[in-house]
Each structure stands twice: as C-alpha cells, then as structure tokens.
Amino acid sequence: MKIHEYQAKEILKKHNINTPKGFVSNSVEDSLTVAEKIGYPCVIKAQVHAGGRGKAGGIKLVKNSGEAEAFVKSILNTRLVTIQSGPSGQPIDYVLVEEPCKIDKELYLGMVVDREYNKVCIIASLEGGMEIEEIAVSAPEKIIKQWVDVSIGIRDYHIRNLYERLSLPANLYKEFANCVKGLYTIFVNNDVSLIEINPLAISGETFIALDAKLVFDDNALYRLPHIVTLMDKLQENHREVLAQEHNLNYIALDGNIGCLVNGAGLAMSTMDIIKYAGGEPANFLDVGGGATKENVKEALKIILDDKNVKALLINVLGGIARCDVIAQGIVDAAQEVTINVPIVVRLEGTKVNEGRAILKESSLDIISASDLLDAAKKAVQSINNN
C-alpha cells in the first residue's frame, strides 16, 4: 500500500525528520491561499502514487500568483503520466505547496527488506535526486548498503559506517544519525516494505527531506489501522480495491484474456501457458482454495469489468475447492453480469462431473478444454476468430 508524499512527510515530521514547510490543497483557490501564506517563490507538486513527477511536468517552482494559478489549473483534476504510472496515468486530486529550500548537496537515503539476508537494508548514495535504479546500473559503486538485523536493531556503528563511506563533514553526523534512526523506527514499527527520501538535502547544517516515499506491506494492514486510513483508493486500480474487499487475490495486467483460477501457483502457471500459446493474460486472479459461489461471482464481475478482456479462461483444479461450487458460481454470475466474451473452462478434480453437468445444463456458451494447454490455445483462438 502506497501513500502520498504529503502524508509520508507528516509521518517523518513526527519522528523529528525535517521537511519543508508546506500545505496540501485540492482546489485552485486553496492553493493560492497556501502559496500566499508560504510566500513566493514556492514549489507546487502534484500528489500521485508514481515516481518521475518532475520529468512528467508535475512539479514546478512558481514565482508569483499568476504562475501558481496557471500551473494548478493545468494539472489539478487531470491525470499525470510518468515512467512509473503506466500509460493511463494517475489522477491528480491534490497538490502540495511548499517553501523552496537552499540546497548545498543532495543525497539518497532509503530502506528496504532484503529477503536474501533476512535483514533491513539501508541504502545511501551521494547521487540524490536521480533514479536509484539508473545509478545501480550505470555506477553501482556509488550505492552504499548497510544491513541491520532486526533482532538487534540499529546501532551507532551502522550509522557511522554509512556516514564514513559517504565522506560527509563531521559536524553533520548528529543530524544524519537522528534522520537514519527516525527512518528505521518508522520502518520497523509500521511494517514498511520500502521507505526512501530522494533527495535528502543538506542545507547549511541541516538535513531536509525534499521528497518522501513510503510503501507498506499489504499483509500487515490488519494491524495498521492508523495507516489504512491514509489509503487513497482513487490512486489504486479500482478492480484491485474491489478484489481486496471480497478477499480475492487480483492483479490487473495489460492483456486481453481474463483468468479465473483457484490457487496462486496454478494461476501463475495459467498465465505462463497463455503466453506460451501466443496470448496475453489480462489479470492474475486467485479465488483461493476455499472458494465459494459468492467468491466466484464477484471474481467474474471484476474480470469482466475490464474492457480489454476479449476472452475468459477458467481453470479449476478441485482440491479444497469443489468443481461444482465453482461451476454454480459461474452460472450465478452470468445471471447478474452480461458475459459477451467466449468462456473457456477446464475443470478437474473434486466433483468434476457434477461441475461439468452444471455448466452443460446452463444456457452459457462454454468452450470445454481437456487440459491447460488446450484451454489456453482455445482462448487465444476464440479471440483470433472474432
């Protein structure tokens, strides 16, 4: 789960990490009021869940009210397309108006979970303001890493090691240590999977977080009610939000063959086989081992809500889930949702004969498949025939 920059900075401030003075706004009038309060020049930043805003025209230093009004009008309630947003972009419902900052030096500072070492990895670089992925490819020696065992926690030697390798002035060490400790506390206390400040500016003898990104582990949200309230559902794929509400594992993709599968491993295999057969999956959707008729019905609604879906492949291996339950869910869903794309079904396992009978007796135009490869080929063929 992601949050906006302004929300991330509020969390940073609670942990004594400096951020520029700023206010968020969702209208042109409020933005101008805030800008007057801060004073010109000021920085106006589109608030979207995607990086690369500056290159995409979502950030601007404005020198007067005329420039501020024109810029906010041009971006507010539009969509910003960045290198991370996808071609459809992200909606701009808020802007952050901030005071500018005198910058002596820009750093990168972040933390991630390193699953290889089962530790928190602190990442720092003197190349702040740039994409860390680009630096990792072009100049990996400029990225400094420090691993922290969560059972021990962060220690002064961790911070000293980072600081010495960054070759920063000695008089800034205390400020840097406070910043790193604050970030680490945020990270471990809130089930964070990624936190980064880019850039972290040195301004005089102070470190200031000019930007901030926080990503939380979705699996831990049940114990993070204070974080869940920060979710902006308009920034998320609405089908993924609906799936979450119905306890379905769904990820939207760019293809045109909708997939309804029980089991995460089988779902990934199904997507692979579709690619092998020359098609493109439109989604990952796992209804789970204990799927009910209601789960299946909601899953079909979500898949068919995607206008790019031109065929539907249902692949069920009845183990914990029964084929007759899945089949009845398909029939029930068809009574509530108009299914106007070809449906390819492969059923195997528990109650398979009963499941096939339910589908056969329904009025649905079902294309039966003998195995997974046969199902994928028939799904691709059904699109090509149309």
Tell me: the pLDDT tens digits for 149-181? 999 999 999 999 999 999 899 899 999 999 999
Of the candidates 5, 196, 250, 298, the residue annotated as catalytic is: 196
Neighbours of 66 (CB within 10 A): 9
| 106, amino acid identity | E
Is residue 196 annotated as a catalytic residue, yes or no? yes
Confidence category of residue 132, pLDDT binned at 50, 70, 90: confident
* 3-class DSSP assignment, residue 151: coil
Q: What is the mean pLDDT of residues 325-347?
A: 84
Distance CA 230, CA 219 (A): 16
Is residue 108 annotated as a catalytic residue, yes or no? yes
Distance CA 91, CA 46 (A): 9
Average pLDDT, the chain: 89
Q: What are phi and psi of 23, to 5 degrees?
A: -140, 145
pLDDT at 77: 92
Confidence category of residue 130, pLDDT binned at 50, 70, 90: low
292 pLDDT exceeds 80?
no
Of the candidates 108, 163, 184, 250, the residue annotated as catalytic is: 108
pLDDT at 337: 78
DSSP state of 222: G
Q: What are phi and psi of 129, to 5 degrees?
A: 90, -10
Distance CA 222, CA 220 (A): 5
- Could you give the percent of the chain with pLDDT greater than 70? 98
Are 143 and 228 in contact by the 8 Å Cβ rule? The answer is no
Q: What is the mean pLDDT of residues 236-262?
A: 85
385 pLDDT exceeds 80?
no
Distance CA 105, CA 127 (A): 9
Tokens of 358: 């339910």
What's the pTM? 0.77
| 320, amino acid identity | I
DSSP state of 319: S
339 pLDDT exceeds 70?
yes
pLDDT at 142: 86
82 pLDDT exceeds 90?
no
Distance CA 57, CA 201 (A): 21
- For the chain, which domains are there? 21-98 (3.30.1490.20), 105-228 (3.30.470.20), 238-385 (3.40.50.261)
Distance CA 59, CA 98 (A): 11
pLDDT at 287: 84
Confidence category of residue 35, pLDDT binned at 50, 70, 90: very high
pLDDT at 139: 81
The CA-atom distances, in angstroms, between 196 and each of 169, 226, 301 are 22, 20, 37
Q: What is the mean pLDDT of residues 3-14?
A: 95
Model confidence over 200-246: pLDDT tens digits? 999 988 999 999 999 999 889 889 999 989 988 887 777 888 788 87
Q: What is the mean pLDDT of residues 246-252?
A: 85
